[in-house]
């Protein structure tokens, strides 16, 4: 079978169509159509979109889309490298981590000593018992002479009251930052039926904001997504990823409900 790009180009020329005509009929951008004909797969937004673009293009120019998709899967899609994971061995049971400097230590952490307030209370109690015992043992041996003495007892120092931690205010709105590790197709809107905020291949980190919601359509999952400063977990897969992000968290969107889908 001839190359995929050559097959598409020849079919288009037989139909006497140019790139602009195909763009108008398929609603696929011209730069992606040229990338298909030149087999520049790295310029396209992920394998899922490539298969969709191939089917649409082939139907417009009158060729069998199944052959092109199968050719792409066999010769190109399977070449994508899968990430390697390093297996970590479990730590030994008798090993503990010191809270102070993070180093391994076989010793148990020291037991906390008695609190200063408790010690002071015990001292005051002992002095009072001693004074009471002296009063009970004393008598009127001097013929009823009166004697008075003033005893000063130490006062336990009170610990200053700790201020209650002030809760952090809830974030005002939704702030989403996307950091791609390679050029990735990205489409962003704020909800179903809303205008598209961004649609293009993203090569550098970018931040999007909205008071209530941000929705994403990512061609590749090799990205880091942060919602109001916190990382959003992403399951690794070769399929595209749709996310709906609010102040409460993130929800993965099905394929038909993703922006620009």
Instruction: List pLDDT tens digits, range 92-138.
Output: 454 444 434 444 444 554 555 556 677 777 877 887 887 766 665 55
Tally of residues, the chain? 261
The β-bridge partners of 215 are 189, 244
pTM: 0.40
Helix (H, G, I), strand (E, B) or coil at 135: helix
**Total Cβ atoms within 10 A of residue 261:** 14
Per-residue pLDDT of 51-80, as tens digits, reads 999 999 989 999 989 988 988 988 887 665
Q: Determine the pLDDT at residue 246.
A: 95
pLDDT at 88 over 80: no
Measured distance CA(255)–CA(261) in Å, rounded: 7
Tell me the average pLDDT across 16-45. Answer: 92
Report the phi/psi class of residue 70: left, alpha or beta, with left for phi > 0 and alpha for psi in -120 to 50.
alpha
- The token duo for 247 is 């102040």
Question: Does residue 103 contact residue 82 with C-beta atoms inside 8 Å?
Answer: no
- The token duo for 249 is 């968290």
CA dihedral in degrees (115, 116, 119, 120; nearest 10)?
Answer: -150
pLDDT at 241 over 60: yes
pLDDT band, residue 257 (cuts 50/70/90): confident
């Amino acid at each position: 079978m001839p190359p995929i790009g050559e097959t598409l180009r020849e079919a288009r020329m037989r139909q006497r169509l140019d790139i602009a005509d195909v763009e108008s009929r398929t609603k696929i951008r011209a730069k992606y159509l040229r990338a298909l004909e030149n087999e520049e797969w790295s310029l396209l937004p992920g394998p899922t979109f490539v298969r969709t673009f191939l089917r649409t293009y082939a139907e417009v120019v009158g060729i069998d889309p199944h052959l092109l998709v199968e050719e792409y899967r066999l010769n190109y899609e399977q070449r994508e490298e899968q990430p390697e994971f390093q297996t970590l061995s479990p730590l030994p049971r008798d090993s503990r981590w010191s809270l102070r400097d993070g180093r391994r230590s076989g010793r148990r952490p020291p037991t906390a000593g008695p609190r200063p307030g408790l010690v002071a209370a015990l001292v005051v109690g002992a002095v009072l018992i001693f004074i009471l015992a002296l009063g009970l043992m004393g008598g009127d041996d001097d013929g009823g002479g009166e004697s008075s003495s003033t005893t000063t007892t130490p006062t336990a120092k009170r610990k200053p009251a700790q201020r209650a931690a002030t809760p952090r205010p809830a974030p005002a709105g939704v702030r989403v930052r996307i950091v791609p590790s390679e050029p990735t197709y990205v489409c962003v809107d704020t909800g179903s039926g809303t205008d598209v905020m961004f649609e293009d291949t993203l090569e550098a980190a970018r931040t999007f904001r909205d008071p209530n919601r941000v929705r994403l359509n990512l061609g590749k999952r090799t990205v880091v997504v942060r919602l109001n400063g916190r990382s959003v977990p992403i399951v690794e897969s070769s399929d595209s990823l749709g996310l709906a992000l609010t102040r409460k968290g993130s929800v993965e969107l099905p394929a038909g409900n993703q922006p620009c889908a």
